[in-house]
């Protein structure tokens, strides 16, 4: 269990209240596979209408409770990072909690596709605390891992900061460049890595074209296999005779036929 800490926030209220301070006590408790984060406000500077927890710009939890205390539970394995607990409305109070732990590096996109001559950008990020202090890219191959820097083959361009790293591959060569690229991030608490898969786009397009051709051939074959329906000789012979359209003429014909018989 980490020691509790407190944050002091000045309340921007009326003139009579100017100079008074709000205190937010924070605690970090490990409970097995979960870590419990807690923020407690010492008094109510204004009516509390809810709470919000944020990590790396992403809202983890939000409620509409009026309490002076709020909690957030996170996975212990992925707990490291900077969290913000906010008492709503936002001017009621807020503070940050810096939770230490091993780094967690993630690939922004696990796979990329490109055609010849394009530029591919592979990106990894980490919002862990303490932040990444050393990034490294390398490409996996059967002959051994190839470390990539800005001077590698005068081809690659690497950009990095505490929270993310980019690998730029300009003028893609579909024979040499595709493969698995791994980003490795190291902080004071450990090391983590993530893999990016870069593949050429033309094999994928070729498969799609083959499927379309096959579907078209099957459609044409099935259509030609079914002949147009026509009436056979028996159907034509059994068709009723057309009437002359004049009932009187038809009656005279029937009378003449009976007399002749």
Q: Is the pLDDT of residue 5 over 60?
A: no
- Kindly list the distances between the CA atom of residue 139 and the CA atoms of 1, 156, 178, 185, 253, in Å, as whole numbers in the listed order: 40, 12, 10, 15, 100
Helix (H) / strand (E) element for 28: namely strand 21-31
pLDDT digits (tens, 9 = 90+) for 181-190: 999 999 999 9
Q: Is the dihedral of CA 174, 175, 180, 186 positive or negative?
A: negative
Q: Is the dihedral of CA 145, 149, 151, 153 positive or negative?
A: positive
pLDDT at 9: 43
Contact present, 191 and 185 (Cβ < 8 Å): yes
C-alpha angle 128-131-135 in degrees, rounded to nearest 5:
105
Which strand ranges, in their side-by-side order, compose the sheet holding 69-75?
5-10, 21-31, 34-41, 69-75
Residue with the two structure tokens 């212990």: 76
Omega within 30 of 0 (cis) for the link into 13: no
Residues near 71 by beta carbon (within 8 Å), at least 6 away in sequence: 36, 37, 38, 39
Q: Is the pTM of this model over 0.75?
A: no
pLDDT digits (tens, 9 = 90+) for 188-210: 999 999 999 888 765 554 565 56
Q: Measured in whole angstroms, how far is the alpha carbon of residue 250 from the centre of its chain?
A: 82
User: Quick one: which of 15, 108, 28 has its CA closest to 74?
Assistant: 28
Q: Which of 59-63, 146-150, 152-156, 157-161 has the lowest mean pLDDT?
A: 152-156
Q: Is the pLDDT of residue 14 over 50?
A: no
Q: Which of 61-70, 108-117, 157-166, 219-228 has the lowest mean pLDDT?
A: 219-228
Q: If you average pLDDT over residues 16-20, what whole number do you get?
A: 42
Q: If you average pLDDT over residues 160-187, what whole number do you get?
A: 91
Residue with the two structure tokens 């000045």: 10
DSSP 56: T
Here the tokens at position 129 are 């605390």
CB atoms within 10 A of CB 137: 22
Rounded CA gap, 70 and 26, in Å? 10
Residue with the two structure tokens 């009187």: 248
Backbone torsions φ then ψ of 22, nearest 5 degrees: -105, 145
**Taking the CA of residue 101 as centre, how many other CA atoms within 13 Å lie in the half-sphere pointing to its CB?**
21
pLDDT digits (tens, 9 = 90+) for 46-88: 899 999 999 988 999 999 999 999 999 999 888 899 999 999 9
Q: Which domains does the chain have, with CATH numbers?
A: 24-99 (2.60.40.10), 105-200 (2.60.40.10)
């Amino acid at each position: 269990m980490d020691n509790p800490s407190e944050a002091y926030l000045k309340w921007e209220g009326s003139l009579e209240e100017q100079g008074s301070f709000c205190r937010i006590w924070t605690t970090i408790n490990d409970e097995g596979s979960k870590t419990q984060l807690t923020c407690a406000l010492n008094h109510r500077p204004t009516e509390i209408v809810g709470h919000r927890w944020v990590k790396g710009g992403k809202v983890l939890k939000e409620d509409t409770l009026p309490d002076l205390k709020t909690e957030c539970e996170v996975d212990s394995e992925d707990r490291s990072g900077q969290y913000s607990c906010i008492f709503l409305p936002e001017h009621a109070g807020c503070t940050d909690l810096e939770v230490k732990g091993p780094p967690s590096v993630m690939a922004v996109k696990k796979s990329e596709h490109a055609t010849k001559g394009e530029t591919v950008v592979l990106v990894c990020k980490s919002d862990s605390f303490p932040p990444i202090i050393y990034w490294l890219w390398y490409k996996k191959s059967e002959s051994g891992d190839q470390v990539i820097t800005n001077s590698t083959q005068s081809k690659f361009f690497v950009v990095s900061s505490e929270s993310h790293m980019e690998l730029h591959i300009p003028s893609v060569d579909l024979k040499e460049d595709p493969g698995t690229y791994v980003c490795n991030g190291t902080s004071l608490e450990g090391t983590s890595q993530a893999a990016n898969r870069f593949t050429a786009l033309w094999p994928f397009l070729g498969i799609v074209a083959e499927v379309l051709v096959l579907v078209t051939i099957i459609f044409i074959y099935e259509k030609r296999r079914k002949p147009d329906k026509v009436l056979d000789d028996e159907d034509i012979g059994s068709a009723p005779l057309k009437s002359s359209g004049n009932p009187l003429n038809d009656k005279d014909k029937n009378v003449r036929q009976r007399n002749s018989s």
